[in-house]
Amino acid sequence: MPFIAVDEESFDDIVEREFEKGHTVILKFGSAYCDSCQLMEFELEEVHDRVTKVSILDIDVGECLGLMQRFEIEQVPTTLIFQTASSQLLYKNGIMLADDMIDIILKER
């Protein structure tokens, strides 16, 4: 899978590293027990396959309550896309199509 698993301890270092590479960072908040989250993974895999310089961070809400609070996550799946650490392009609850995410990412490049 093209996702980078993170936990609360590694999150900030990994995000910083990916931004230093010039990557757009996608935060995927979900759970292994959530059917909609599993469907969202297929869409995110397509984004990863079709767009260069994209890093997708996989955040398990059962293990990262602090990150859920930090990003005000109330349901899963939730997807956030950041162009830079201070430039958020998207905050979306529910399933989103790969084409729509790709349009948002490429529009800002």
Asked if the model's pLDDT at residue 8 lies above 70, the reply is yes
pTM of the shown model = 0.95
Backbone angles phi, psi at 21, to 5 degrees: -75, -5
Asked if the model's pLDDT at residue 26 lies above 70, the reply is yes
Cα–Cα distance measured from residue 89 to residue 48, given in angstroms and rounded to the nearest whole number: 17
Predicted pLDDT of residue 99: 97
pLDDT band at 109 (very low <50, low <70, confident <90, very high): confident
Helices (H) and strands (E) in the chain, counts: 4, 5
| Average pLDDT for the chain | 95
In the chain, the domains with their CATH numbers are 3-95 (3.40.30.10)
pLDDT in tens, 31-81: 999 999 999 999 999 999 999 999 999 999 999 999 999 999 999 999 999
